[in-house]
Amino acid sequence: MGPMTDPFALVDDRCFDVHRARGDHPERPERLDAARDGLRRAVGDAPVLALEAAEVAPADLAAIHASAYLADLEDALADGWGHLDADTFFAPGSREAAFRAAGGAARLARALMAGEARRGFALLRPPGHHAEADRAMGFCLLNNVAVAAQAALDAGAARVAIVDWDVHHGNGTQHVFEDREDVLFVSLHQWPLYPGTGAAREIGRGAGAGRTLNLALPAGSSDEGYADAFRRVVLPSLRAHAPDLILVSAGFDAHQRDPLASMELSSAAYGAMASALLGVADELGHGRVGFVLEGGYDLRALEESVAATVAAALGRSSDLPEDAAPAASRAAVDATLAAARVAWPEGFE
Ligand SMILES: [Zn+2]
């Protein structure tokens, strides 16, 4: 199936809009409308495979989250309105949104593994990458991308990679998989910043040593800094791991317009990063890349960046910038390479 006839898989559901805070909160339903606008603009009249976001299967959830947490979460969500931590709200309808978000992410992973499509996007809320096995955290109730990764493995993938380009470290995802050899987790994030984890020295443990890679980038990192991180760490580690599916924890809060962080990415940078990941997926012979929405709190930035990402996924490729990265971000990439050398003595090639 060539790129012209290959459908673009899409998970979306109006139930995600019901999840909202009682007062002002950056993680709001309007975010999804902005992302939808960007996606629609990029897709145009290309074929779309609409995937249902059914409630996540209990076994898929139990593979990632502790049963005691799931029981506590069900009890809490039955109350209607409230908070699970200082930042993490819930509302009537949040249970359906969260459980169908995780189910939609799993559905996307299974569709890509089954050859129903090669590329797809799960437009969902609440986000997931801060959710730990045993607690909600940082606007996240269930770890959608982790559920998706495990679903892909259960569907026959030997290895999966998760690239997390949200500006915040994906602590929950890292902790779920850090002792596992079959899931590569590569996170690019502003450092220091919430949640405080994701130092370069965190490289996984046991059988998973070297399969966690943290690019702890300085505030103000630009398209060039991210390009350097992609060329020297993200892309070679993906080639070395050779995943059967690349999942992207696709937050858009490293954008220069984002109000919650201080990075300087352009909208176009997301297209270039997506193109680079698609290139590796094509080199690996399968072309499978699934994007799962995480953060991103400026509506215009979200719309433009999702459009750039989806355009790349549909084959309108763009290149990472060639200009040299500033010394501070090069040093951050050097730190990741130095830490990873323990597990990858010959480098990634
Ligand atoms: Zn974020």
pLDDT at position 4: 52
pLDDT at position 79: 84
pLDDT at position 349: 61
Amino acid (one-letter) located at 84: L
Tell me the CA–centroid distance for residue 219 and ligand 1, in Å: 14
Q: What angle do CA 235, 124, 204 make, to 5 degrees?
A: 40
Tell me the CA–centroid distance for residue 194 and ligand 1, in Å: 9
Cβ(27)–Cβ(139) below 8 Å: yes
Tell me the CA–centroid distance for residue 297 and ligand 1, in Å: 8
Per-10-residue mean pLDDT of the chain, 349 residues long, equals 74 98 96 98 97 98 98 94 95 97 98 98 98 98 99 98 99 98 98 98 98 98 98 98 98 98 98 98 98 98 98 96 96 97 85
Tell me the CA–centroid distance for residue 299 and ligand 1, in Å: 14
Tell me the CA–centroid distance for residue 168 and ligand 1, in Å: 4
Tell me the CA–centroid distance for residue 93 and ligand 1, in Å: 23
Tell me the CA–centroid distance for residue 253 and ligand 1, in Å: 6
Number of H helices, E strands in the chain: 11, 10
Main-chain dihedrals φ then ψ at residue 45, nearest 5 degrees: -105, 20
Give the separation between CA 139 and CA 169, rounded to whole angstroms.
13
Give the separation between CA 90 and CA 82, rounded to whole angstroms.
5
Domains of the chain (ranges, CATH numbers): 8-340 (3.40.800.20)
pLDDT at position 97: 98
189 assigned to active site: no
* Active-site choice (19, 65, 129, 130): 130
pTM over 0.85: yes
What is the per-residue burial (b if ≥16 Cβ within 10 Å, else e) of 52-68? ebebbbeebbebbbeee
Cis peptide before 218 (omega within 30 of 0): no
